[in-house]
Amino acid sequence: MKRYTTFLLLLCMLLASCGGSDAPADNTTTAPETTADLYPDDLPDDLDFGGETVTFLYRQEILDEFYVDSQNGDIVNDALYDSLRAVEERLNINIEAIPREGHLTNVRDEYMNHITSTVMAGDGTYDWVDLMIGNACVKLREGIFRDLTQLDYLDFAKPWYLKELTETVAIDDKLYYASGDVSIGYLKNSFCLYFNKRLAEDYKLGSLYELVDEGKWTVDKVAEIAAAGSQDLDGNGRWSLDDSVGFVIHDYTHKYGFMGSTQIKFFEQNDTGDWEYVLGSERDADICEALYALINQSEGVYFYNGTNAIPEQIEGYNKVTDRFVGGGILIMTAQMDDAVTQLRTMQDAYGVLPYPKLDEAQKEYQSSSRSTHNSFSMPVTCENPEMAAAVYEALGASNYEKLLPAYFEVAMKAKYSSDDESARMFDIIHDSFKLDFGYMFNNALSDPTRPYWVALNTEGSFASTLASKKPVVEEALAKFMEDVEANCE
């Protein structure tokens, strides 16, 4: 528990027991108050913008992860409302959110084109624009966004920004988008594992939390636990939802979570600071081999080759959810917000774990999220960049202190207790969240993660897929950098 006092004090009280029949029935309770400093940022105390308005464009379908205009008794909604209003009062500004459809597949292109056309027309309506982070990487080459490192009020070393943001996705030391606690979209989509505490006790597996704390939560350990915590109930020798399953990959997109957790390396910067496609080391091959074995060859493991993002696959996805809720799965891959949207009726107590490391030699855990989560970019047409930057910094600090504890309380349906095991796990997931250049720029650079993806589905395919993909990615990277140099500030 490393960084923020208020967050940890609340979590130590709130997050001991997840799920269970004695968990709160809903999320309309009042968040505990705190007397800690609400604004641990370095903004000047006397900032006053005289009632000016700072305007954010945001995807309408998910607006409430960033902005609400009233209280409604929901603990997360009201914490967000209080955070927004506190920043408005502190800086004497008005925060305006303009919603526009842009999240679903059929409206994404129109949403992105709207941003481009607005900026190209010299329209300064938007001070900040929200984009799926993978699409921000696509749009930045057009030269329509400011370099955020040039804005004095933004401090990317603060804990309300994603870890090592300027080191992981900057181009020529310039940063054209930011992500963190200004919107909790990244957190809702964070990859994690949920596990059934009763089953862990029944199978006498010991403390899974201790494995994490001791650095022993690895891919091989997950396979070992899955085998020990499963039963082939129908006796047919194949693992399915008719069995008591040890480990389930709930959605095929959840395999992306292992890219971050095992720290596979797609790109790195050379001595001159240029990004190079470096996938193909012995360790990268070992990662793919280990994950293929976990997913396809391990006892007690079931992979649902579908997603809830495709309508015809939702029924199968929901069957997996129901099996976990009903107590038939020990460990299941998930995204953080699944606890809110899918696990409300679960009677068994459940806990949360980070995705595993490759092995014990890997120094630290690393968490990540789907590339559909939020990022913010500042259009070059923003008329008062420093004011917009100050508001952004203040929102991040305020949400970090006020919103995150409320979200975690609801996400895990926690009750008051002195047990801080869940707090430690959330601390790891939040604090180790890091973007990966290859995954973030996947759409912009002709799918550099393809060899990893194929290798997890087809045994022994890593080298051949990489050999065919490497020149394509390198050509796309060269063209992308040419566009950035020609168009971006």
pLDDT at 251 over 80: yes
Asked if residue 275 belongs to a domain, the reply is yes
Query: Which pLDDT belongs to residue 6?
Result: 40
pLDDT value, residue 411: 60
> What pLDDT sits at residue 483?
97
Cite the DSSP H helix spans in 32-143. Answer: 75-91, 108-120, 133-139
Binned at pLDDT 50, 70 and 90, residue 37 comes out as low
CA-to-CA dists, residue 47 to 37, 42, 94, 154, 296, angstroms: 17, 11, 14, 14, 57
Closest CA to 289 of 454, 472, 478: 454
pLDDT for the residue numbered 341: 87
Kindly state whether residues 257 and 397 are assigned to the same domain: no
pLDDT, averaged across the chain? 90
Residue 47 carries which side chain, given as an amino acid letter? Answer: L
Asked whether residue 418 is assigned to any structural domain, the reply reads: no
Q: List, in order, residues 6 or more apart from 478 with CB less than 8 Å away.
A: none
Q: In this predicted structure, which of 5-14, 212-221, 335-344 has the lowest mean pLDDT? A: 5-14
Within 8 A by CB and 6+ apart from 443, the residues are 134, 135, 137, 138, 371
pLDDT for 348-387, tens place per residue? 988 899 999 999 999 999 999 988 899 999 999 999 999 9
Say what angle helices 75-91 and 385-411 make with each other, to 10 degrees.
Answer: 160
pLDDT at 423: 76
**pLDDT of 444 over the 70 cut:** yes
Task: Tell me if 6 is assigned to some domain.
Answer: no
Q: Residue 340, Cα to own-chain centre: how many angstroms?
A: 15
Q: Is the pLDDT of residue 416 over 50?
A: no
For residues 30 and 96, membership in a common domain is answered with: yes
- pLDDT value at residue 54: 99
User: pLDDT digits over 66-102, tens only?
Assistant: 999 999 998 899 999 999 999 999 999 999 999 999 9
202 and 78 within one domain:
no
Cβ contacts of 271 within 8 Å, gap of 6 or more: none
Domain co-membership, 206 together with 259: yes
Is there a single domain that holds both residue 318 and residue 225?
yes
Mean pLDDT over 303-318 rounds to 91
2 part of a folded domain? no
- Domain range enclosing 468: 191-364+436-487
For residues 236 and 209, state if they share a domain.
Answer: yes
Residues 149-173 pLDDT 10s: 999 999 999 999 998 999 999 999 9
Q: Residue 218's domain is classified under what CATH number? A: 3.40.190.10
* Average pLDDT of the segment spanning 193-209: 96
Structure confidence by residue, pLDDT tens digits, 204-250 = 999 999 999 999 999 999 999 999 999 999 888 899 999 999 999 99
Q: What is the pLDDT of residue 39?
A: 62
* 278/276 Cα distance (integer angstroms): 6
Q: Sheet containing 245-249: which strands, arranged edge to edge?
A: 18-19, 349-353, 191-196, 329-335, 245-249, 301-303
Averaged pLDDT for residues 184-204: 94
Query: Do 22 and 98 sit in the same domain of this protein?
Result: yes
Q: What is residue 340's predicted lDDT score, i.e. its pLDDT? A: 82
SS3 content of the chain, % helix, strand, coil (to 5): 45, 15, 40
164 and 255 in a single domain? The answer is no
Phi and psi at residue 379, to the nearest 5°: -60, 150
Is 80 inside a domain boundary?
yes
Q: Does residue 416 sit within a domain? A: no
How many whole angstroms separate alpha carbon 47 and alpha carbon 91? Answer: 6
Looking at the structure, do residues 327 and 453 belong to the same domain, yes or no? Answer: yes
CA torsion sign for 359, 363, 364, 366 is negative
Q: In this structure, are 113 and 25 located in the same domain?
A: yes
Residue 10, domain member (yes or no): no
Is residue 4 scored above 60 in pLDDT?
no
Backbone angles phi, psi at 104, to 5 degrees: -80, 155
Q: How many domains does the chain have?
A: 2
Residue 20 pLDDT > 60: no
Domain assignment of residue 215, yes or no: yes
- Asked if 166 and 312 sit in the same domain, the reply is no
**pLDDT top residue among 416 and 144:** 144
Q: Which is nearest to 74 in space by CA: 406, 426, 415?
A: 406
According to the model, what pLDDT value does residue 477 have?
98
Instruction: Report the share of the chain in percent with pLDDT over 70.
Output: 90
- The terminus-to-terminus CA distance of the chain in angstroms comes to 39
275 & 382 share domain: no
Give pLDDT tens digits for 283-293: 999 999 999 99
